Amino acid sequence: MASSTFLPEAVPFSFAEGVTYRVAPPPVIALLKIIVFTDDQHGRKKDLLDLTESFRRYDEASDRIFSDEVFAAELEDIDYANALLLGMDVGPIATDEEVGILSAFLQSQSISDEELLDLGREDIQQREALRFQKQLRAFRKGIEQSRGG
């Protein structure tokens, strides 16, 4: 993986009372999880599950969820703001090569608008698949916004 022009600093994370370590920030972890998942989709399924959790929870306690940039993205639902913000924070740290990997990941995981309409909202598995697809779209939009595309 080539070095990025901007690499966020490690952030403190408390593992227990009095036990704090500096760890890679969530956008870096998300980018790495996408890269390793793309490299081995069958052996790295847990990374995809971790990523879906990141799409759901990223920056959830911050005021960014209600920022002008989120509203400007015209998301279908505010529930997808977390994925948008993650994309907005991954985009600037990704090299051109990594953007290619992100694009391949998004293409391989995304379904068409027609297939999206076919997902039933009554079935819990299909409802989760629908949520994931909307999160992927928001994540892509965030990457594109952050990179001026």
pLDDT tens, N- to C-terminus, the chain (149 residues) = 444 445 567 878 888 899 998 888 999 999 999 999 999 988 899 999 999 999 999 999 999 999 999 999 999 999 999 999 999 999 999 999 999 999 999 999 999 988 888 877 778 888 889 999 999 999 999 999 998 86
15's enclosing H/E stretch is strand 11-16
- Give a yes or no: residue 78 inside a domain: yes
**Hey, how many other C-beta atoms are within 10 angstroms of the C-beta on 116?**
14
In the beta sheet, which residues pair with residue 23? Answer: 11
What pLDDT shows up at residue 11?
78
Structural domains in the chain (count):
1
- Give a yes or no: residue 33 inside a domain: yes
What pLDDT shows up at residue 6?
52
CA nearest neighbour of 58 among 111, 137, 135, 141: 135
- Give a yes or no: residue 109 inside a domain: yes
Contact of 69 with 88, CB cutoff 8 Å: yes
Domain that holds residue 31: 25-146
- Give a yes or no: residue 17 inside a domain: no
- Give a yes or no: residue 103 inside a domain: yes
Contacts of 48 (CB under 8 A, 6+ apart): 33, 37, 41, 109
What global pTM score does this model have? 0.86
Helix 26-39 and helix 45-57, axial crossing angle in degrees, nearest 10: 150
